[in-house]
């Protein structure tokens, strides 16, 4: 069964919907898409509309922001180490452990960037090899720094192009146990046995970019099928993932027979991704943006904001 048939079987919906009647904004036709929209369009998401305090109507509110890298990493790492080094102690010989855990993770944060920088998932070398040397320092630092590395990827811009089976590895990475995690009866700094199984690996990501199309038509076709299978796999086996900023980049030949604006919208909203922030559309012409906007707006999730 082709991806189109699967989509039709699993998502029997008609996306040619009228304007959302509950919207607080008037419907804007596709012709309202600006001519000079060279940077794309952003579609911001809102929470379900709630009554105003004075009861005069309804106001949409933005979705909550992502929890910070530091708060997530410190909370999870505190499950692994003993209270003495969560707070830090001047009596400890290792100067790093004299610092509270929040300061230690600020140091790890310099080694493993979490600044929204671009990471092409299908290529290697996401982190400089020298920065990984800290993982070989000692048992405790291995656990803390490994957790910082895994958390940092959730705060980067993860870019997908080829949609291979290995592309999903970034969503499945877990802290690996050491041999000493299970043979050492007591560790003065670590909870024992090492509580790596208690770590929560939230599937929440700051930014994901999905690229479509290519000047080579065969490559464009491969990416189109890969994109559909990628989203279906997220829906049924790997996801759903929560993403706060989703970017769709259209290259040449992104639209081919059997895949157009409607198929794109249906694939994005197939249930594999829970979008809590914005969708940014880049590389589409005015007519394509207008059609995507018309279909997506009719689903009642967001309003249009020009970049």
> Both 145 and 83 in a single domain?
yes
> Both 147 and 85 in a single domain?
yes
Domain count, the chain: 2
What pLDDT, on the 0 to 100 scale, is given for residue 196?
Answer: 82
Question: Among the listed ranges 40-54, 107-121, 255-269, which one has the minimum average pLDDT value?
Answer: 40-54
- Residue 79: inside a domain, yes or no? yes
Which comes out higher in pLDDT, residue 42 or 148? 148
pLDDT band at 138, cuts 50/70/90?
Answer: confident
Mean pLDDT, residues 56-74: 74
- Residue 21: inside a domain, yes or no? no
- Say if residue 6's pLDDT is above 80: no
Domain end point (choices 197, 216, 250): 197
- pTM comes to 0.78
Residues 6+ apart with CB under 8 A from 224: 212, 213, 254, 256, 259
- Answer whether 68's CB lies under 8 Å from 75's CB: no
- Residue 267: inside a domain, yes or no? yes
- Residue 55: inside a domain, yes or no? no
What pLDDT, on the 0 to 100 scale, is given for residue 102?
Answer: 93
Q: 219's torsion region: left (phi>0), alpha (psi -120 to 50) or beta? A: alpha
- Answer whether 282's CB lies under 8 Å from 39's CB: yes
- Residue 252: inside a domain, yes or no? yes
Q: Which helix (H) or strand (E) holds 282?
A: strand 273-282
Grouping H, G, I as helix, E, B as strand and the rest as coil, residue 208 is strand
How confident is the model over 248-296, as pLDDT tens digits? Answer: 999 999 998 889 999 999 899 888 998 888 889 999 988 888 888 888 7
**Domain containing 244: what range?**
203-306
Which comes out higher in pLDDT, residue 234 or 41? 234
Grouping H, G, I as helix, E, B as strand and the rest as coil, residue 182 is helix
Whose CA is closest to 13, among 269, 202, 251, 210? 269
What pLDDT, on the 0 to 100 scale, is given for residue 54?
Answer: 57
What pLDDT, on the 0 to 100 scale, is given for residue 249?
Answer: 94
Q: What is the DSSP letter of 256?
A: B
Whole-angstrom distance, CA of residue 234 vs CA of residue 275: 13
- Residue 171: inside a domain, yes or no? no
Report percent pLDDT > 90 for the chain. 32
What pLDDT, on the 0 to 100 scale, is given for residue 186?
Answer: 58
């Amino acid at each position: 069964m082709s991806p189109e048939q699967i989509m039709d079987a699993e998502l029997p919906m008609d996306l040619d919907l009228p304007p959302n009647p509950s919207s607080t904004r008037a419907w804007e036709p596709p012709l309202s898409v600006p001519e000079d929209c060279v940077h794309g369009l952003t579609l911001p998401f809102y929470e379900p509309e709630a009554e105003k305090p004075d009861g005069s109507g309804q106001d949409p509110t933005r979705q909550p922001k992502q929890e910070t890298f530091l708060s997530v990493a410190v909370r999870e790492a505190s499950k692994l180490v003993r209270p003495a080094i969560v707070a830090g102690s001047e009596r400890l010989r290792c100067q790093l452990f004299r610092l509270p855990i929040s300061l230690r993770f600020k140091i790890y944060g310099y080694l493993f960037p979490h600044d929204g920088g671009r990471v092409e998932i299908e290529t290697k070398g996401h982190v400089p090899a020298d920065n990984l040397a800290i993982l070989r320092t000692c048992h405790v630092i291995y656990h803390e720094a490994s957790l910082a590395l895994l958390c940092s990827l959730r705060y980067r811009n993860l870019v997908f192009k080829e949609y291979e089976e290995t592309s999903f590895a970034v969503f499945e990475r877990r802290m690996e146990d050491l041999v000493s995690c299970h043979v050492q009866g007591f560790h003065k700094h670590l909870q024992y046995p090492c509580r790596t199984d208690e770590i929560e690996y939230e599937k929440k990501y700051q930014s994901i970019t999905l690229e479509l199309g290519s000047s080579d038509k065969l490559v464009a076709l491969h990416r189109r099928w890969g994109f559909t299978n990628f989203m279906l796999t997220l829906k049924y086996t790997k996801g759903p993932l929560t993403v706060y900023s989703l970017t769709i980049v259209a290259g040449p030949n992104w639209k081919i027979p059997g895949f157009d604006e409607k198929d794109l919208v249906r694939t994005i909203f197939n249930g594999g991704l829970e979008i809590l922030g914005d969708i940014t559309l880049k590389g589409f012409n005015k007519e394509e943006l207008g059609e995507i906007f018309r279909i997506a707006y009719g689903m009642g999730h967001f309003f249009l904001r020009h970049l």
